[in-house]
Amino acid sequence: SAVISQKPSRDICQRGTSLTIQCQVDSQVTMMFWYRQQPGQSLTLIATANQGSEATYESGFVIDKFPISRPNLTFSTLTVSNMSPEDSSIYLCSVAPSGNDEQFFGPGTRLTVL
């Protein structure tokens, strides 16, 4: 299993600003995943973050809007840039540490953009 923490747990931000979300894992993992969950919806994969290389973004998500850092094997950040009310969502990071695709999620960051 994996213990994952995220900071902040929630935030209320003004449009046009940026917020950086941190994700910390208690063990080294090759890949970390970032998801967005819009209100009342299921989860959508934003990008996959590998240590030592550029993140891989899913269709509809771009690096300028969601820059990701992965400085080591236990930590990653996701920045939501130039926010608008449509970015109001829960953002979650996840890992699959066991090599069998079993996924573990962080507690999420609930973002509200005014």
Would you mind telling me the total number of residues written for the chain in this entry?
114
Q: How far apart, in whole angstroms, are the C-alpha atoms of residue 110 and residue 90?
A: 4
Q: How far apart, in whole angstroms, are the C-alpha atoms of residue 79 and residue 55?
A: 13
Task: Kindly state whether residue 13 participates in binding another protein, applying the rule CB under 8 A.
Answer: no
Which stretch, 13-21, 24-32, 72-80, 105-113, contacts another protein (CB under 8 A)?
105-113
How many CB atoms lie under 10 A from the CB of residue 32? 26
Task: Kindly state whether residue 61 participates in binding another protein, applying the rule CB under 8 A.
Answer: no
> Contact 73/30 with Cβ under 8 angstroms?
yes
Task: Kindly state whether residue 92 participates in binding another protein, applying the rule CB under 8 A.
Answer: yes
Which stretch, 20-28, 66-74, 76-84, 104-112, contacts another protein (CB under 8 A)?
104-112
Q: At its nearest, how many Å lie between another protein and the CB of residue 26?
A: 15
Instruction: Choose, by CB under 8 A, the member of 22, 37, 51, 81 that binds another protein.
Output: 37
Q: Is 60 left (phi over 0), alpha (psi -120 to 50) or beta?
A: left
Task: Kindly state whether residue 42 participates in binding another protein, applying the rule CB under 8 A.
Answer: yes
